[in-house]
Amino acid sequence: MMNKRGISLTIKILIAIAIIVVVIVGIIFFFLPDTWKQLTSIETSSSTTWDWKNVNSIQKFTDFSKTKILQILGFERGFLDSFKDLFIGFIAGFYICLIYFIATKVEKIMNPGINETDLKIIANNSWLKFAGNQFWKAIPIGMFYFILNQIPFIKVAIQIITFEPLMIFKDTVAYFIVKPLIVAFVLGMGPAAIEAYSTYKLRKKYRGELLKIKANKAAIEALRSS
């Protein structure tokens, strides 16, 4: 299980990510509408006559702007996009289980006769064990990712974290290979790495404290002997 320091570090990282996402969404939500309003006002002021064609063009532009805002915030989504999220989630879950399986097999090969409880991948990464020690867990992982993507603002956060805007090969075979790998890292390897680092920092601190105690004890014994 994760220690208190590990949990604290994880919470701090999640809060930092949440703040970054909120700032980005805030910029999109508050600044883009003003820009569109300015463009609309420019189009209106440049019109020499007031007729229904100008009104219709402004209305179409406004509707287009509203649609774009909803799309950016993750509200405008069709069934096909939801199905893609479910498929990507299942593949990402399979990747997590495959990574855990390969890691444990490699460690067993490198350390013949080692017991399951002595495997470092299990002892130091309880999250990775929880998420990937059985291949059937790819199903709940996929469902979890699918549910997260149905929440508009969280959908935007996931797109940012997984570099979705930078992917120029969407709806291709490469997309359905690379995107699940990134999701697997975020859901599986990311928390496992945080947990391993937290454990390392805690052990380093305890080791330092132990050395201080031993040094103080040796100094006291030296004073007594003198």
Supply the pLDDT for residue 17: 56
More confident call, 12 vs 152 = 152
Q: Is residue 195 classed as helix, strand or coil in its secondary structure?
A: helix
Return the pLDDT at 11. Answer: 54
Give percent helix, percent strand, percent coil of the chain, each to the nearest 5. Answer: 85, 0, 15
Residue 6 has pLDDT above 50, yes or no: no
If one compares 7 and 140, the residue with the highest pLDDT of the two is 140
The rounded distance, in Å, linking the Cα atoms of 207 and 183 is 35
The highest-confidence range among 48-52, 108-112, 134-138, 215-219, by mean pLDDT, is 134-138
Q: Predicted confidence band at 223 (pLDDT cuts at 50, 70, 90)?
A: confident
Instruction: Answer with the residue of higher pLDDT: 154 or 41.
Output: 154
List the helix and strand counts (H, then E) for the chain.
9, 0
